[in-house]
Structure formats: structure tokens, C-alpha cells
Amino acid sequence: MMKRENILIVEDDPHFMKLLEYNLGKHYQVTKAVNGVQALELLEKIVPDLIISDIMMPEMDGYTLKETLRTKTGTDAMPFMFITAMGTSNDRQKGFALGIDDYLVKPVERETLLTRVRQILDRAKIYKQSFFEDLKTDYVRQDCGGKILTCNGFNLYFRILPADVASGDYVEVFTCMDGASIVLMGDIAGKGLKAKYFSSTYWAYMKTVFHVYLKNGGSLADGLIQLNELLCDDPSLEDIFTTLICLKLGKDSSQIVSVSAGHLPVLWWSASEKTVNLLEARGPLLGLDEEAVFPETETPIGPDDRLIITSDGVIEATNMDGTLYGMERLQESVIRNSSLAPEALTQALLDDVSKFRCLTPAGDDVTVMVISRF
């Protein structure tokens, strides 16, 4: 079922609130606040698609509410409409000067209300889609375009299933000057618009470090130290953290060098031993400790071995009973499907999570990557 758009109504008159709720509630999910203060509290928890506000209200009026939202990243561009009894030209000008999208004067006809609300939501949707498409195009590869990637004797396949329009999980593969391939998988934790906006800042840091430093032959461990220092120095990122795993697939080598910053363990299926080994993180997640170090690990990959890298959306998937999918189920699934090629194994692992979850919606992005030798 398609998710209904959420409208936050800020109105102190209970009768008018009821009227708005009645008319809009048939088409949209409605959240209510009786003044600007309560609206700001709600906006800490929810991200509405549109805010409809009265102007004259106790504690905090509509002008102050809009002005406050305008100064905060994440709420500054939220679609906003006034519905008010204040109908002079000066009142309107003051509203539009604050950056609102529309201004209706009470009483409002039902059809006018629905049309104007729809217009704003449609405009916002087009803008949002285009923004997130840009974000995805610029920074995040959602999959391999349905093809296996080949890097220095290794096959690689991955898929990202975003829980929302823009994913906090990301994967990138690029080649260094010395011919080695670098594979990055990370997860930007945090919810809502702030995390999404943050992903672009984060990618700017990533590009700076990895595309300049690593491409020119720097080590993975030093690259992570540099990235970590940048993230620790940015005070705007204090409620967001990121995990990252980097792999280096060298030329003419069966060894994979890896370094992890708090990312989930890599699962290494050893075909000769018929076991799944967990290669655990040796460094902490990024942006927490400016003196952190990130030791490198070398893993010898046999001809039929598989490396499986996932994001936490896999092991934290829950079913209807609230039971977690967990690392053990993932390991069992890897063992059951270990003979499959990377593309089929990736799909089998995703299918297993999906089957476990059944009708429970995904609460987080789900990413699976499989690497093998050829």
C-alpha cells in the first residue's frame, strides 16, 4: 500500500481543527498541534510533507513558528501554508516574505483547500524526487546495474534495498593508480532529513580522502584515520555516526586487505573448511574517537570461497513477533547457499531476509555484497 502523505496542522481553534482534520484526514495522514511550541516538539520526531498553520495562536504564533523553522537545517524547506483569519495585504506579504508556499484566508471552501494542498504536495514531490535522484546519482550506487563487476581476478555483486527514498547505506568501487580496486561499504546511521542531508556532507569528506589519498597509493588504515579526524572535527555531526568497511583487491593477489570502522563482521565462507568465519571490526565507528586506529587484516581467498558483507538492516530485520533475523540466521543462510555464484547468492540472502520479515516493513536499508574469485 502506498504511504499516505503526512500533514501537520497547527491550529488553536478546536472547531476549525476538526474541520481541517475531517476534510484532509480522508486523503492524508494528519498530525495535530495547538500552537507553534507543540509543533516544534512534534517536528523533533516527525517529518511531515506539509505544515498548515494558523497565525494567531497562544504561546507561539504562526509567524514565529515559520521563522524558527526557516533557521533550522532540515526544516527550512518544509512546505508550509498559512490558513488564517488575517486577510490584509500586509499580513499576506509578511507571510510570503517568510518563505511560505501558500496563504488562505478563513473561511476556506473545501475544494479550494484540497486543490491548494494537492498543488503544494505535488510540487514538493517533484522537487524531492529530483533532489534524491541527484543524491543517488552523485553519491550512491544502488546496485551493479544487474551485472557482476570484475576487479583484479575477483567477482563482485551487490544490491542495496533502501527503506526510504534515499539510502543511508552506500557502496562504492573504484580503481587506484596502481591498479588495485577499492570497495567501500558504509552505513550512515540516523533518521529523517538530517541524516539524508548529512550523507552529502559525508560524501564530500569521503571523496576528499579516498579519491585523492587512496587513489594515489595511500594505505586503507591511514585513509580511515584521515577520514575519522575530519568527521571528529565537525561539530554538526555529533548525533550521527557512520560505519565503514574498506577492501583492497590488489593486482595479481588472492589476498584481500580489509579495514573496518565499526562495521558488521565480514562473513568468510571457506570452501575448503566448509565453515563461515566472522572477520570482526578492528577499529571503532567513525567520528567518535579522534585518536582511533584502524588495523588492516589480510584474508586469503580460495577459488570457491565467498566474502559476504552486509549492512545492519540485514541482521536487525524483524518479523511480526518482533524477533530479530540476527547473525546466526545469516550464517546459516550463507552455508545453505554457499555454492551459488555472487549474483544468485546475493539474491538468496536477500530473499531469506524478506521471507523472514514476511509482511513487516523494512525499518532500515538492507545491503548485501558478495565477492568471490574467478
Site residues, another protein (CB under 8 A): 44-45, 187, 189-190, 235, 238-241, 243, 260-262, 264-265, 280-285, 287-289, 292, 312, 316, 363-364
Shortest distance, CB of residue 337 to another protein, whole angstroms? 23
Shortest distance, CB of residue 195 to another protein, whole angstroms? 10
Q: Which is nearer to another protein, 109 or 321 (CB)?
A: 321
Task: Give the C-alpha separation, 273 to 270, whole Å.
Answer: 5
Q: 314 with 366: CB under 8 angstroms?
A: yes
Q: Which is nearer to another protein, 122 or 239 (CB)?
A: 239
For the chain, where are the E strands, in sequence order?
A: 6-10, 29-33, 50-53, 80-84, 102-105, 149-151, 154-161, 169-175, 181-188, 242-249, 255-261, 266-270, 275-279, 297-300, 306-310, 366-373
Shortest distance, CB of residue 306 to another protein, whole angstroms? 20
Q: Which is nearer to another protein, 104 or 163 (CB)?
A: 163
The reply to whether omega before 107 is within 30° of 0 (cis) is yes
Q: Which is nearer to another protein, 153 or 265 (CB)?
A: 265
Shortest distance, CB of residue 92 to another protein, whole angstroms? 36
Shortest distance, CB of residue 311 to another protein, whole angstroms? 9
State residue 99 phi and psi, 5-degree precision.
Answer: 95, 25
Task: Give the C-alpha separation, 104 to 166, whole Å.
Answer: 33
Q: Which is nearer to another protein, 250 or 262 (CB)?
A: 262
H-state helical runs in 210-297: 220-232
Q: Which is nearer to another protein, 55 or 245 (CB)?
A: 245
Q: Which is nearer to another protein, 92 or 282 (CB)?
A: 282
Q: 261 with 294: CB under 8 angstroms?
A: yes
Q: Which is nearer to another protein, 151 or 314 (CB)?
A: 314
3 state SS for 84-153? ECCCCHHHHHHHHHCCCCEEEECCCCHHHHHHHHHHHHHHHHHHHHHHHHHHHHHHCCCECCCCCEEECC
Shortest distance, CB of residue 241 to another protein, whole angstroms? 5
Shortest distance, CB of residue 129 to another protein, whole angstroms? 26
Task: Give the C-alpha separation, 263 to 355, whole Å.
Answer: 25
Amino acid at 59: E
Shortest distance, CB of residue 314 to another protein, whole angstroms? 12
By CB neighbour count within 10 A (0-12 exposed, 13-18 middle, 19+ buried), where does 134 fall? exposed
